[in-house]
Amino acid sequence: MSDKAKLKIGGREIELDLITGSEKELGIDVSNLRVSSNIITLDPGYKNTGSCKSAITFLNGEKGILRYRGYSIEELAEKADFLEVAFLLIYGELPNKEELEKLLNDIKENSIIDEDIKKILESFPKSAHPMGILSSLTSALIAFNPEKKLSLSGNEDQDYMYNSIVKLLAKIPILVAWVHRRRKGLPLDYGDYSLGYVENITKMMFQMPNLEYVQNDTLVNAMNKLLILHADHEQNCSTSTVRIVGSSEASLFASISAGISALWGRLHGGANQAVLEMLEAIKKDGGDTKKFMSKAKDKSDPFRLMGFGHRVYKNFDPRAKIIKVTADQILNELGIDDPILDIAKGLEKEALEDDYFVDRKLYPNVDFYSGIIYKALNIPNEMFTVMFALGRIPGWIAHWREMRKNNEPIGRPRQIYIGETLRNFSDIESR
Ligand code: SDX
């Protein structure tokens, strides 16, 4: 195949380069289109537009493939530890024993948070949504960890970048645990750094005051798997937000804070909370899934089947498959008989046999079953998207670092103007 594309407009023929990725994906390079033709492309929602070349995560939506740095999500979810996956996403290789031990030790050394952050946390009303609190506290961390412009070329900047990454990996889990515990009226604590990374996260979240903490391996394993499954997903809405905010040379912490806000939306990470609220509404309404399926297909009804459909996957979301099996395992191991799971399975079965969903290739996505596990782990609905954000931190860091190392230009899309043409100002009496 030629490595050129030809664009014919009127009598003109414009030749554009074709880019081929390592998985044989093809892209037309339009980076010089406007300069050479004064023409731009238009693509609301960027459904057909690549924003960058990236070596971090590969998705194949038709085949339901997801790989982090070439490793399949199935293998990582089964065999890896979340901190190993964080290292893999950020640095491109699985860590050896020394590298992983160093990362965990450096995280422990950075696991103190200025007491003034607690005062900011305490200033939020109890009703404040945890995602708004987490985004604010992440941004507030900048005040206590002043950052500088990173060129990422010199060794000093590499060390500085490493320190910023370690601070985020150290402090975000504490903030997540604090937000969770404050909502439950529990004392805040820093956890136990003699434990592993995920073990400590679960202890910080679930340790009850005045009671000896007994680690529940089912819970730790479930948390580890969920964090790995949420760790990255190439150029989704919140990751693209982190990249574009970082492209202005805003700091890593500020870019991650923006990513948290983008993830909050119910069409994106907020869907896991919306799925549980939908399933609970169906249960309360008597479990009539057909009624809700009809609402989801009715264009005059704003109701959508939350947890279904995906911009990229036009086959099963491989994460949903893993989470569905894990949900079954966990509910069995914890001896929980939750009718919500049966409603979810019933809804899935009906949707997979319904022409509307089949024709539009709408399958369960990562958010459809994850809330059932969070609920079984006694995490409240409003904290579900915070758990998604906790998992996505390494992916956001990896993309911010890649964008800065590649010295990518500031993100600034163009537009097609459809407003008023030139007109003269008129004084108020004549309007
Ligand atoms: C995540 O991008 C990522 O990678 C995100 C994510 C990640 O890891 O970062 O995977 C995480 O955000 C998963 C998605 C979670 N969101 C939801 O579950 C919300 C429900 N889903 C939909 O809102 C929707 O499917 C989106 C937002 C996920 C995708 O929207 P698109 O790609 O813009 O598709 P669309 O809205 O153009 O829908 C195409 C058709 C439309 O019908 P027609 O106009 O063709 O008749 O499918 C219909 C839509 O109305 N449709 C749905 C539907 N999703 C799409 N109809 C009913 N219920 C749904 N859930």
Q: Using one digit for the tens of pLDDT, what is the confidence trace for 294-331?
A: 999 999 999 999 999 999 999 899 999 999 999 999 99
Residue 184 has pLDDT above 60, yes or no: yes
Q: Which atom of ligand 1 is nearest to the CA of 59?
A: 4
Distance CA 56, CA 16 (A): 26
Distance 311 CA to ligand 1 centre (A): 6
What is the C-alpha to C-alpha distance for residues 360 and 362, in angstroms, rounded to an integer? 5
- Please choose from 295, 305, 360 the residue to mutate so as to test ligand 1's pocket, defined by most ligand atoms within 8 A of CB: 360
CATH topology for the 271-376 domain: Cytochrome p450-Terp; domain 2 (1.10.230)
Rounded to the nearest angstrom, the distance between the alpha carbon of 349 and the centre of ligand 1 is: 18
Q: What percent of the chain is modeled with pLDDT above 70?
A: 97
Ligand 1 neighbours, Cβ below 6 Å, are: 45, 233, 236, 267-269, 271, 296, 304-312, 360, 362, 365-367
Give the pLDDT of residue 163.
92
The pLDDT of residue 350 is: 93
Please give the share of the chain, as a percent, with pLDDT higher than 90: 90
Cα gap 408→41, rounded to integer Å: 20
> CATH classification of 73-237 is 1.10.580.10, yes or no?
yes
Residue 239 CA: nearest ligand 1 atom is 9
Q: Mean pLDDT over residues 341-370, rounded? A: 94
User: How do residues 39-85 score in pLDDT, each as one tens digit?
Assistant: 999 999 999 999 999 999 999 999 999 999 999 999 999 999 999 99
Give the closest residue (by CA) to ligand 1 atom 41.
Answer: 360
Catalytically active residues are 310, 367
Which of 58, 89, 236, 311 best tests ligand 1's pocket when mutated (most atoms within 8 Å of CB)? 311
What average pLDDT does range 402-420 have in this prediction?
Answer: 96
Is the per-residue pLDDT at 238 higher than 70? yes
What strands, in cross-sheet order, belong to the sheet with 12-20?
Answer: 4-9, 12-20, 26-28
Q: Which pLDDT score, from 0 to 100, does residue 193 have?
A: 86
Tell the residue nearest (CA) to atom 25 of ligand 1: 309
Ligand 1 atom closest to Cα of residue 275: 18
Nearest CA to ligand 1 atom 54: 309
Q: How far is the CA of 47 from the centre of ligand 1 (A)?
A: 12
Mean pLDDT of the chain: 94
Mean pLDDT of 105-113: 93
Cβ pair 66, 73 in contact under 8 A: yes
Q: Is the dihedral of CA 385, 258, 239, 170 positive or negative?
A: negative
Give the closest residue to 268 by CA, choosing from 230, 226, 228.
230
Residues of the chain with CATH 2.20.28: 4-50
Q: Whose CA is nearest to atom 5 of ligand 1?
A: 236
DSSP assignments along 1-69, one per residue? --SEEEEEETTEEEEEEEEE-TT--EEE--TTHHHHHS-----GGGTT------SSEEEETTTTEEEET
Location of each CATH 1.10.580.10 domain in the chain: 73-237
Instruction: List the residue whose alpha carbon is closest to atom 37 of ligand 1.
Output: 311
pLDDT of residue 149: 57
- What pLDDT sits at residue 95? 98
Q: Whose CA is nearest to atom 47 of ligand 1?
A: 360
24 C-alpha to ligand 1 centroid (Å) = 26
Residue range 274-295, pLDDT digits in tens: 999 999 999 999 999 999 999 9
pLDDT of residue 151: 55
Instruction: Assess contact for 335 and 396: CB atoms under 8 A.
Output: no
* pLDDT at residue 153, as a whole number: 55
3-class secondary-structure state, position 228: helix
365 in Cβ contact with 310 (< 8 Å): yes
Measured CA to CA in angstroms, residue 301 lies from 82, 284, 356 at distances of 40, 20, 15
Query: Above 90 in pLDDT, residue 148?
Result: no
Distance 310 CA to ligand 1 centre (A): 5
pLDDT at 10 over 80: yes
For ligand 1, what atom is nearest to the CA of residue 236? 2
CB proximity list for 97: less than 8 A, separation 6 or greater: none
Evaluate whether 255 touches 246 at the Cβ level (below 8 Å).
yes
The pLDDT-based confidence of 157 (bands split at 50, 70, 90) is confident
| Residue 147, pLDDT score | 67
- Say yes or no to pLDDT of 150 above 80: no
* Gap from CA of 415 to ligand 1 centroid (Å): 24
The average pLDDT across 333-359 equals 93
For the chain, give every residue range classified as CATH 1.10.230.10.
271-376
Residue 186 Cα to ligand 1 middle (Å):
37
To test the pocket of ligand 1, the residue of 304, 315, 387, 388 to mutate (highest count of ligand atoms within 8 Å of its CB) is 304
Q: Nearest to residue 280, comparing CAs of 379, 349, 350, 372?
A: 372
Token look-up 């079984």 returns 376
Of 408, 390, 388, 387, nearest in space to 399 by CA: 408
Domain 4-50 CATH class label: mainly beta
Cα distance between residue 268 and residue 319, in whole Å = 15
Of ligand 1's listed atoms, the one at least distance from the Cα of 368 is 18
Q: Which of 362, 384, 387 to mutate to test the pocket of ligand 1 (most atoms within 8 A of CB)?
A: 362
The candidate with the shortest Cα–Cα distance to 138, out of 166, 176, 112, is 176
Instruction: Using the mean position of ligand 1's atoms as its centre, give its distance from the Cα of residue 320 in Å.
Output: 15
Task: Give the per-residue pLDDT at 146.
Answer: 77
